[in-house]
Structure 1
Amino acid sequence: MRNDKQTRSIAYRLAAFVLAVSLSLFAAGSAAAEVPPVRFGADSAEHTLLGHVAIQRDPTGQRTLADVVFGTDRLDFEPAPGSLLFGYTRDTIWLKTTVRLPPGFQDDLYVWFRPNFLDSIEVYAPTTADPRAASDFRMVQLGDHSKAQQNTFSFPFQGAKIPPPNTDTFELFIRIKTTSSLMLEGWLGSYTAFLKNAIATSAFFGFSLTFFLVLSVIMFINWRLSKAPILLIFSAFLFSQSVNVLPLSGLGLHALARTLPGLQDQVTQFALIICHALGLMLLAEQTDIRKGQPIFLWIYRLSLGYVLLGLPLSLLGYYREFIFQEFFVMLVMFLVFTYKNVAKAFQERDDARTAAIACIVYAFFAIPYHAVLLGFFVPTTRVVGLLLLGNFVFVCLMSVALMQRTSASERLRRESELLRISRQAERAAMDLAASRTAELVTAKEAAERALAQERAAQAEQLRFVDVVTHQYQTPLAVIRSSVTALRHAISGRDDANRRRIAQIDEAVRRLVEIMDVSLHRSRMDGYAGRANRSRVPIVATLTGIVHRSRALMPERTIELSTKGIGDADEAAVDPDMLAIALGNLIDNAAKFSQKQDAICLSASLRPDALVLTVSDEGIGIPEEDIAKVGQRYFRASNSSSVFGTGLGLHIVQQVAAAHAGSLEIRNRPQRGTMVTLTLSIEPEIREPLAGEDDRIAPSPTA
């Protein structure tokens, strides 16, 4: 709150300073005690009439040339101030100036006036050295309501050729009648001076018209690109400025006089009010007056409504009754907008700083100028001319301010658009993630259900195989026991019966092997390649496996070596898989070696693995077959005479893979085969999965 008060105080002081300095610069000069004549030198250069004229008003408009030259009204002339600006008036103005020419002056004289929107200008030049009647004067008619005459000009100002009388000193009388604001400037000079002035003025009007039109088009293009409303308003404001240049140059007035006779004043005033209204809308948009204090918004709305009311009034011809109040409203609103921009400049907005400078510069000229138009005081001519410079500076600075504002708005728009796109992308990603997550959850649940069903089926299959195996093993054991008993009961000389008993024993043994292989394969498939590790004592576990093999093959010598392994040493392995693997290796060693040959199982313990080696003294494996014997159903080329299925070493290889280990097969130097099974003991022990607790350890066969 305190900062706001300080800002308002600074703004008020700054506005008061601008107004005071402006008024002091535009202060009216006092009228001269006597009117000096216009003196021409040998160069015949241009000479301004202002400061060299006497003036009298004719409120009735009935005074004639004879009245002001030869009658009693001649005494009503009084020295005129530095410029002639008396606001909007219906009075007829008479001016008188004395011209002194150098001796022998032979050039034609030219007189020209600004502004162009003067209704009627009558210039009376004497035709004799000593005029005694109105008929001794020649009248030249000028003005935007007058028809063009020979040797008269309406562009870029009102001008005419005046043949000088045969005397060095004479008086010119000028009768001006207008309904516009009378701000008269006039010159006398030779044709060369007139031409130079016309070229300079035409160039200035051409530059002004081009400047406003080009800048208007640029702002319109920027509006099409950015869609910022303020740029469209500024483009329309600049276009209205260019339209208002036309009456000043005279081109627009005579074009209107031809197309709309008698309405050129109304149309010109209409264009001026349009310019004022667009200026109000521009500054209101630029200062964000709708977001500020409500009192300023109400003042703006009332002011804009009053200015727009002048549009129909100007077309109906009542602009003289309206324009005084309209100028006052514009003065008040310009002060408001200047204050708003100065206040925003203290809020560190770049566009507000530039706009504040633009308003202050324009206020330096525009506020006193409008006060002059209202007739409050009379300015000096040179300072009034600086109003145009202030207008150009205001437009340039305001263009920079609007481009800064538009650039900042465009940057914010792009940031907002990027933020919107990023949020939209984030929402899309979240939706996609949620959708994919839901799909994954659904797939996971389906997979878990399928896995549970598969494990249940595998467990059921294992139980079925165990039951079937047990059902077969019992009668096979009975048959085998009976065969053994018969072998002992039959006489040694009964070779035929002994041969039959041997055939029965071999058939039973093959059938038992087929049952064991099928059981081991079913159990390995049920494990699904996973080892259900648990810490088991190494020596006790290996002893149990060897004892089971000895029970199955009582005629074979099976040795166990656990050198370096203590009774308390443990290893994290799957005991069921270990039993299956060693059982297959011992069984293979027994099949491919003689009964009197020993089978040796040796074990060693490394920090990261348990190394088990089964060696025999059998027929060995051909070197070209060693790489293939782990494949399913593959049998070595020298094993055709021995019954087998080709699945034993494949099962052992699966056990090694489940324990992240390896299986190595090589022939011994003398004879036989050495198979090394390495089982990793590093992985952590995991709990059994659902269905895995139904796995049944291999049962010893008969």
Structure 2
Amino acid sequence: MSAFTSFHRHMWTVLTARQNVGRTPVATLIRTKLPRILFILFILFVALIVAMIGGLNGARAHGTTPPTTGHTDKIVLNGDLPGKLDLTPYLSWYVDQSQQMSLDDVRQLPFDDFQQSASIPSFGYTSDIIWYRIDFGVDQMLTAPPYIEANPSYLNHIDLYLFEDVATAKLSDAIWQESMGDRIPARKRPFTSGTHVASWPKLDAGAYHLFIRVQSNSTNLLTVTLWQAKDLISSMTLRNLATNIFFGVFLTLGITYFSLGLIARDAVVVSYGIGIACAGMLISLVNGVGLSQLRSEIPWMNDFLIGTTNIVSQAAVVFLWIHILEFRQRTPILFWLGCAYCIVILSFLIGTTNELYTVFGTYIVPSVALFMACACLVLVKRLAADIRNKTLWAYLIALALPCGPVIMLQLAHAGLIDVTPIRIGLHQFTFIFHIIAMGILMAIRLTQMDREQVFASTRAEETTSLVGEQRKLISMLSHEFRTPLAVIQRSSEMLMLRLRDHSDDIQNRLKRIELQARKLARLVDIFLSKDGIDDKEFSLARELVGLDHFMNDFVANTTRDDAEILVTCTGTNGVEAYIDETLIGLAMTNLVETSRRFAHGQPIHITARAQSNWLAEISIPCQGEGLDSDEIRLIGNALFRREMETKALRSALGLHISQRIVDAHGGSIKLRDLGPMGIALCVLLPCETSNQDSAAPLA
């Protein structure tokens, strides 16, 4: 019933946004006129409250003035019955907690056992049976039989018994009796309408006593009115028209918000749409839409519809308020407690037609009212700390102010405060105010969403253009690299042919130049090709390679006079790895170069060993002056973090590439702490022994 008291914080982000991209004249106009809009909304709200209070008081004054204390005198009817006569102030009641008392038992109770008050009789959500009694007299026969109307529409059973003489204690002495309530099938109700109406018999002059038995699993309160036929028809026509319009408008609004939330992929806007639809349906169902339009023969149908919409709207108000107050960002524990609270509320959906709904109304409804009051206080506290915050002012006017009547309604239904026409009727009008205010906010939100969509589309086009330019640049770089590489390779080949009779030292140097040129061409194919742009994975050219042979070739091609590399292989005889030699060589080179930074010309002693039948380890020590904790942290970031820091990216890009290469081979690089001796960079690669008959894995 109170889902209109909340909305997602995103509804107001436009009011604090600073971007000027795609700003529309409507958004600019609303932004510049915001203080005036808020002031007009506040004045509208105050005027609506004043008019509503006056209207409800006037409607109450149109009936009979309620008593103030004690029991009132009997009401006396004459031949000229007014168009509307409110009998609620003359109701006396007795609570049957045993639920076993019969009509005869109640009739024999002393009149002083019945109680009376100035407010509408209300007992909260209770399973007790409430007996009402009205004593009245008739001076002369009525010119036309009146109609009696009992409200609210969600009461399960309303049994009326009219007696001419209270001294007789037999049920057969009732001169008229009728059964009403939403548990009565449509075909058995006196009138198929949105309220409970029955026709009285013509009464002769005399004294009469009306007993009313009420039982319901919803909040138990009762109002009784006598009507002349034409006035009842006129009133019901206007009420049905207003209720149907109300139902259609707010159901449409709920579906609209729900659809917009789905389009925007905003779960809270979707929830707000559900809440608005449920709140509008609930108010309409309470006003009799279910009874007048569905006319169901299923006894519990009206209870099911009212209970379901009430429970869903209660959960929606909690869910939306915890987003408005930004609990997820400010206090996550309160956010998750609020979500758990919503789940608890929704769990009562299984009991909308039985006594479990009474438990829901007794405990959950007051707790939701308390939650809304606390939420409003938090909002006021934040506003006091930031008095110039327009967003908080908007929330206060559009959300917190309409919460007041809803909280009163919740407490009245729970039986914690007296029920008056203002307390049970004001929320329908503040709901309309809330919808108008939120409509303005939604217009702002939609404008913001449109601007964000234009901005996102522009950024997407720019990104696509940049990607295209990047592709062109990489293609050009690839071409520019390949041309000199081809020249170097051909030149080295020609020199080898011309100088084949010279010393082996010259031949070895030329072979090294040719080998490095081939490696560089391979790297260009990997990193500057179209496939390398579209796919983050490397294109591997794997083959079975003996680990001893690979390590010896690597040391021979990498060692220098001023930076010698030594290798010791332990238990690697016959061990083979299925690798891309060029890429693994590059990865090893990057690791060795990292070690050389701290070796300062000292030899680097690499060890290779077989950890098991399927895993080989290559360990490269990294030690020396300058290897401190900061350097170790940068090396670790480069090896183990997917998103590298800027500083690590500048100084250790080679290590990051090495990690990716080894990962692509199904291996890993570990950083082993050697204590005071420094660290070791360990490459772990899948392997197999040559005496095994297992086939090599597919690339």
- Could you tell me the TM-score, scaled by structure 2's length? 0.53
User: Does structure 1 retain, via aligned residues, the 8 Å contact 2:160–2:211?
Assistant: yes
* Alignment equivalent of 1:173, drawn from 211, 223, 226: 211
- Aligned residue number for residue 88 of structure 1: 125
Give the direction of change, closer, same or farther, for the CA distance of 1:260–1:100 in structure 2 (3 Å limit).
Answer: closer
User: Offset of 1:187 from its aligned partner?
Assistant: 0.6
Give the direction of change, closer, same or farther, for the CA distance of 1:353–1:416 in structure 2 (3 Å limit).
Answer: farther
Give CA-to-partner distance per residue, 1:563-594, whole Å, 9 cap, x none: xxxxxxxxxxxxxxxxxxxxxxxxxxxxxxxx
Q: How does 1:34-45 map to 2 (within 5 A)?
A: 34-38=71-75, 42=80, 44-45=82-83
Structure 1: 5+ residue runs without aligned partners?
Answer: 1-17, 445-702
Distance 2:154 2:226 in 1: 19
1:297 to 2:335 alignment: yes
- Aligned residue number for residue 358 of structure 1: 398
Give the direction of change, closer, same or farther, for the CA distance of 1:401–1:285 in structure 2 (3 Å limit).
Answer: farther
Give CA-to-partner distance per residue, 1:416-435, whole Å, 9 cap, x none: 44334334434544654676
1:55 to 2:90 alignment: no
1:144 to 2:144 alignment: no
- Aligned residue number for residue 218 of structure 1: 256
User: Does structure 1 retain, via aligned residues, the 8 Å contact 2:255–2:274?
Assistant: no
Give the direction of change, closer, same or farther, for the CA distance of 1:239–1:165 in structure 2 (3 Å limit).
Answer: same
Partner of 1:78, secondary structure, is coil
| Structure of higher RCO (CA pairs closer than 8 Å, 6+ residues apart) | 2
- Aligned residue number for residue 306 of structure 2: 268
Distance 2:90 2:358 in 1: 29
User: Does structure 1 retain, via aligned residues, the 8 Å contact 2:369–2:410?
Assistant: yes
Give the direction of change, closer, same or farther, for the CA distance of 1:132–1:264 in structure 2 (3 Å limit).
Answer: closer
Q: Please identify, of 52-61 and 217-226, the stretch whose mean Cα deviation from structure 2 is larger.
A: 217-226
1:78 to 2:115 alignment: yes
User: Does structure 2 retain, via aligned residues, the 8 Å contact 1:48–1:188?
Assistant: yes
Q: How does 1:653-692 map to 2 (within 5 A)?
A: none
- Aligned residue number for residue 400 of structure 1: 440
Distance 2:240 2:292 in 1: 16
Give the direction of change, closer, same or farther, for the CA distance of 1:188–1:62 in structure 2 (3 Å limit).
Answer: same
User: Offset of 1:85 from its aligned partner?
Assistant: 1.5
1:389 maps to amino acid: F
User: Offset of 1:113 from its aligned partner?
Assistant: 1.3
Give the direction of change, closer, same or farther, for the CA distance of 1:403–1:288 in structure 2 (3 Å limit).
Answer: farther
* Alignment equivalent of 2:451, drawn from 384, 403, 411: 411
Give CA-to-partner distance per residue, 1:525-558, whole Å, 9 cap, x none: xxxxxxxxxxxxxxxxxxxxxxxxxxxxxxxxxx
User: Does structure 1 retain, via aligned residues, the 8 Å contact 2:85–2:227?
Assistant: yes
1:338 maps to amino acid: C
1:117 to 2:157 alignment: no
1:32 to 2:69 alignment: yes
User: Offset of 1:402 from its aligned partner?
Assistant: 4.0
Give the direction of change, closer, same or farther, for the CA distance of 1:389–1:119 in structure 2 (3 Å limit).
Answer: same
Distance 1:129 1:307 in 2: 46
Give the direction of change, closer, same or farther, for the CA distance of 1:38–1:227 in structure 2 (3 Å limit).
Answer: farther
Partner of 1:139, secondary structure, is strand
- Aligned residue number for residue 157 of structure 1: 195
User: Offset of 1:61 from its aligned partner?
Assistant: 3.1
1:322 to 2:365 alignment: no
User: Does structure 2 retain, via aligned residues, the 8 Å contact 1:344–1:353?
Assistant: no
- Aligned residue number for residue 557 of structure 1: none
User: Does structure 2 retain, via aligned residues, the 8 Å contact 1:277–1:308?
Assistant: yes
* Alignment equivalent of 2:422, drawn from 370, 377, 382: 382
User: Offset of 1:245 from its aligned partner?
Assistant: 4.0
User: Offset of 1:401 from its aligned partner?
Assistant: 3.1
Give the direction of change, closer, same or farther, for the CA distance of 1:102–1:194 in structure 2 (3 Å limit).
Answer: farther
Give the direction of change, closer, same or farther, for the CA distance of 1:429–1:389 in structure 2 (3 Å limit).
Answer: same
Partner of 1:79, secondary structure, is coil
Number of residue equivalences: 422
User: Does structure 2 retain, via aligned residues, the 8 Å contact 1:66–1:133?
Assistant: yes
User: Does structure 1 retain, via aligned residues, the 8 Å contact 2:163–2:210?
Assistant: yes
Give CA-to-partner distance per residue, 1:20-70, whole Å, 9 cap, x none: x99xx99xx99522324445573621111221221112222333444434x
User: Does structure 2 retain, via aligned residues, the 8 Å contact 1:117–1:143?
Assistant: yes
- Aligned residue number for residue 12 of structure 2: none
Give CA-to-partner distance per residue, 1:422-467, whole Å, 9 cap, x none: 34434544654676799899999xxxxxxxxxxxxxxxxxxxxxxx
* Alignment equivalent of 2:349, drawn from 300, 311, 318: 311
- Could you tell me the TM-score, scaled by structure 1's length? 0.53
Distance 2:188 2:345 in 1: 41
- Aligned residue number for residue 134 of structure 2: 97
1:86 maps to amino acid: F
Structure 2: 5+ residue runs without aligned partners?
Answer: 1-45, 57-65, 485-699
2:238 maps to amino acid: A
User: Does structure 2 retain, via aligned residues, the 8 Å contact 1:54–1:97?
Assistant: yes
User: Offset of 1:158 from its aligned partner?
Assistant: 0.5
Give the direction of change, closer, same or farther, for the CA distance of 1:339–1:408 in structure 2 (3 Å limit).
Answer: farther
Identity among equivalent positions (%) equals 16
User: Offset of 1:279 from its aligned partner?
Assistant: 2.7
- Aligned residue number for residue 199 of structure 1: 237
- Aligned residue number for residue 227 of structure 2: 189
1:280 to 2:310 alignment: no
1:195 maps to amino acid: I
Partner of 1:329, secondary structure, is helix
Give the direction of change, closer, same or farther, for the CA distance of 1:129–1:374 in structure 2 (3 Å limit).
Answer: closer
State which structure, 1 or 2, has the greater radius of gyration over its C-alpha atoms: 1
Q: How does 1:485-634 map to 2 (within 5 A)?
A: none
